[in-house]
Amino acid sequence: MSHNPLGQQTEYISEYAPHLLFPIARSESRKQLGIGTSLPFFGVDIWTGYELSWLDKSGKPVVAVAEFTIPCDSECIIESKSFKLYLNSFNQARFNNVDEVRAIIIEDLSRAAKTDVGVQILPLLSVRGNNYLEGIAQPDAVQLDDLNVVIDTYHPAPELLKVGVVLVEETLASHLLKTNCPVTGQPDWASVFIRYKGNKIVHENLLRYLISFREHQDFHEHCVERIFCDLLRVCKPEYLSVYARYTRRGGLDINPFRSTDAQEKPAGIRLIRQ
């Protein structure tokens, strides 16, 4: 981590520079959760890049939005500032077409994450008819944020979680999740969606638990895995998924999804803050 560009003064390079990508092993954080090589979840980390640009062969800029999908069983995550610096390095580089850019990014990200990474690039002139880029969505979920709760802790407190005896299947949502960068301490804001089947989770207690992350410092992916593991351990649902949509910083948002169902795919949505 001493070589991590996050929190350091950095020169922005505008010529293609794949060496800027800084991988971080997932294993260290997972050890703190008691997770070994056998993961208790499936899922992906979905990154959206809103500031991707390069030059075509005539020197004319192309601007695009990109989506990057990193499987949660990859050996490494990619540190977000290094990811931004890497994408900025395309700004003055020339490429033949969007397919060439996509192939290069797939190769670079897959090498850094040590897994096969999915990349979709949408030049802005091609977005007509693309629901993801055209509209803001709000998943159908029970909103927790208007509940009257008393908050007295701002560090993760799984002991707050409680369940009843009634069996339910529901999706719950809160826009009050805030965590903090473990290097700079800067705030990270997110909406979180929890879908489960099992004994009914007491909504007020769940909201208090989610708010308890407000002073917690960790990367987005690790925070979602902590929430997932706490819910799985304490509430013991038959099925569980946790999906956080973080707001963007430096043109990138990170949206981790974890589920007990290997076949489930997260909804491709954009929220009002994205």
Which residues are within 8 A (CB) of 48 and not within 5 positions of it... i.e. 6 or more apart?
65, 66, 67, 68, 248, 252, 253, 255, 270, 274
Contact 50, 64 (CB under 8 A): no
Distance between CA 217 and CA 223 in Å, rounded?
A: 8
CATH architecture of 142-259: 2-Layer Sandwich (3.30)
Give yes or no: 230 in active site.
no
Give yes or no: 72 in active site.
no
Note the pLDDT of residue 187.
95
- Point out which residues pair with 94 in neighbouring strands: 55
Among 45, 72, 108, 181, which one carries the catalytic annotation? Answer: 181
Contact 222, 242 (CB under 8 A): no
User: CATH for 18-134?
Assistant: 3.30.1130.10
Note the pLDDT of residue 130.
55
Note the pLDDT of residue 11.
74
Quote the tokens at residue 258: 């974890």
Among 45, 72, 108, 188, which one carries the catalytic annotation? Answer: 188
Kindly report the CA angle at 255 between 252 and 258, in degrees rounded to 5? 155
Give ranges for CATH 3.30.1130.10 in the chain.
Answer: 18-134, 142-259
pTM confidence score = 0.92
Lowest-confidence region among 58-67, 118-127, 196-205, 235-244 = 118-127
Distance between CA 163 and CA 185 in Å, rounded?
A: 33
7 — alpha (psi -120 to 50), left (phi > 0) or beta?
A: left
**DSSP secondary structure letter of residue 59:** S
Note the pLDDT of residue 255.
97
Distance between CA 160 and CA 207 in Å, rounded?
A: 9
Could you read off the pLDDT of 105-158 as tens digits, one per residue?
A: 999 999 999 999 999 998 877 655 555 555 677 788 999 999 999 999 999 999
Query: Could you tell me what percent of the chain has a pLDDT over 70?
Result: 92
Q: Tell me the mean pLDDT in the region 43-58.
A: 96
